[in-house]
Amino acid sequence: MSDFTALEHDVYLFHQGNLRYSYELLGAHGDTQNGNTGTRFMVWAPNARQVSVVGDFNDWDGREHPMKKWNENGIWHTFIPHLEKGEIYKYEILTPHGHLQLKADPYAFSSELRPDTASVVYPLDNNYRWNDDLWMKRRDEMNVYESPMSIYELHLGSWKNVEPEVYYNYRDYADEIIPYVKELGYTHIELLPITEHPFDRSWGYQITGYYAVTSRYGTPDDFRYFVDQCHQHGLGVILDWVPGHFCKDAHGLRRFDGEALYEYANELKAEKPQWGTLTFDFGREEVQSFLISNAIYWLKEFHLDGLRVDAVASMLYLDFGKENDEWEPNEHGGRENLEAIAFIKKMNEAIFEEVPNVLMMAEESTSYPLVSAPTYIGGLGFNYKWNMGWMNDMLRYMEMDPVFRKYNHNLITFSLFYAFSENFVLPISHDEVVHGKKSLLNKMPGDYWQKFANLRAFLAFMYAHPGKKLLFMGSEFGQFDEWKDIGELDWDLLEYDSHDSTLSFVKQLHQFYKDMPALWELDHHEDGFSWIDPHNFEQSVLSFIRCSRNPKDQVLVVCNFTPVVYHDYKVGVPHPGEFEEIFNSDAEHFGGSGQRNGLKASSTPEPWQGQEHHIKMTIPPLAVTFWKKTDGSKGE
């Protein structure tokens, strides 16, 4: 009997699309057979006429280590004694057309540094010792929906580097990034994909090694160290994950065994002309096992706290990014990819069964319903969705000269019509500050002072608005240039007062945000928000109340999106009492004009803006102020 027979049940589940840990079956694994230690190889290549393992250890000669075909469904296997960690290898595949091709291992845990493309034997049963037990326990007990969440999105290679295209190690990045992000008060770091990819400027979104930590920054254990250190310092880690498509590089998944295997055989379904990539065949069971296992792999093996799933809309719709002659409807005549929808639901169900209390965030840019609802009520099963509508409306509004904002007031109020239809994250991501879109600061209109004032007002409004928060690196200190994916952030700007003050503003905004349960506890519930006045388009002023479960925690928010100062401005309040300004984005130490309300405002028992009482205040220019009752009476 073969030593491989103990794996037969896993092989069966793999072909059924139900092997959630297929990375423990396929790929290169340390093993012992017939008293010899070495490496076991398994690969799925059903159309191949022959498969061999090749590398430096056999002079890349496919005759030396041919693989045996397990079954008619196309799993090939072999065991090579004395082959140890660090050896490079590929699969030599004889296609049904008689061509030999070399492919990297789809399940490789490590790869050569680009431009080299071979896989590297890196056993899964490593000896890394985690020290994040306290974090993992706290994560399991946390109600993430009713907790503050502010995410710092970053691309490792262009945050800082040795020189363009020469990068630090994950361990070095841990030592640099964690104190910085922690000091600013973020709760999570989100990394652009660190799965292996051949082209630096794809930022990791066009992948060849789904299970391989990119060797640009070190080894899998180096990355474990990065995550471990984040957790020990109280920071969660989210990874961008790309199940929607893969690149066409010759050593990757494209026509892996000479035929369409991981991609659809139907080119109209396979091709993503917008990106020059290929769509996974979501209806194929082995592909389901591959992708679901991959998500679980990152969450389990690297203790990640969540995945941000890239380009979900491109998975959901057959016509995404395509002309009329580039797609064909589904069996019901619609544009939805029914197989992808079923796969997404199956994937999320599996993930939350295997790794509860993680974040599954969909970057979904359409109005597809129930993205963040459970599958048992018809949802896709994510627990968060990026609010792309809010992002587009707000950036369009903020880029306008304040003179014209009153004609577009609906752009800042419309989001509250649907703010509680999903569990939303408010994202200002890398996509908004690259390819000629300008940096967040440079989107802002006006002179030098007004640009910074607009930026502070925008960020303060973002943190007052229902939904969790995400901001791309560099925006926190007002980088003028858009993101340079080759190079690093303009750290020298912090030598200038306006940028240093902006960084201080973001730090204090985070601390204020975390101290105010009203700004996050009921983020996803209508009881957490109520308008005071959304209608004052003439002055571009709006006011509202954020609430927590404790009525005493109510926070009044007043926003002014013009450079005009309004004195003795009346704002309705639902209850009598004294109100104190507790945060002002126009404070002098943030670089503002210093138009502040130093004295408490006592309410007057005269109705205003639909409320029974009102207070008078000074509203600073291009600014957001936060107010709270101070007399100890209940806000109910």
pLDDT at 512: 98
pTM of the predicted model, to two decimals?
A: 0.96
Sequence-separated (6 or more) residues with CB below 8 Å from residue 200: 114, 157, 165, 216, 485, 486
pLDDT at 4: 64
pLDDT tens digits for range 489-530: 999 999 999 999 999 999 999 999 999 999 999 999 999 999
Active-site residue 141, yes or no?
Answer: no
Cα distance between residue 147 and residue 189, in whole Å: 16
**Does pLDDT of 3 surpass 70?**
no
Its sign, for the CA torsion 83, 84, 88, 90, is positive
**Does pLDDT of 531 surpass 90?**
yes
Cα distance between residue 260 and residue 249, in whole Å: 14
Q: Which residue is catalytic, options 132, 363, 393, 422? A: 363
pLDDT at 126: 72
pLDDT band at 7 (very low <50, low <70, confident <90, very high): confident
Length of the chain: 636
Helix (H), strand (E) counts: the chain: 15, 30
pLDDT band at 635 (very low <50, low <70, confident <90, very high): very low
Query: For 5-14, 107-116, 197-206, 553-562, which range has the lowest pLDDT when averaged over its residues?
Result: 5-14
Percentage of the residues of the chain whose pLDDT score is greater than 70: 98
- Of the candidates 326, 373, 329, 332, which has an alpha carbon nearest to the alpha carbon of residue 352? 373
pLDDT at 636: 42
pLDDT at 189: 98
Which domains are seen in the chain, by residue range? 5-120 (2.60.40.10), 167-178+188-193+206-386 (3.20.20.80), 526-629 (2.60.40.1180)
pLDDT tens digits for range 20-60: 999 999 999 999 999 999 999 999 999 999 999 999 999 99
Cα distance between residue 29 and residue 401, in whole Å: 60
pLDDT tens digits for range 597-624: 999 999 999 999 999 999 999 999 999 9
Token pair belonging to 3: 């030593």
Angle at 241 between CA 236 and CA 242, to 5 degrees: 170
Q: Which residue is catalytic, options 132, 263, 310, 339? A: 310
**Does pLDDT of 1 surpass 80?**
no
pLDDT band at 339 (very low <50, low <70, confident <90, very high): very high
Average pLDDT of span 296-300? 98
Token pair belonging to 232: 């020990």
The secondary structure element, H or E, covering residue 504 is helix 497-515
Percentage of the residues of the chain whose pLDDT score is greater than 90: 95
Active-site residue 393, yes or no?
Answer: no
pLDDT at 378: 97
pLDDT tens digits for range 130-180: 999 999 999 999 999 999 999 999 999 999 999 988 999 999 999 999 999
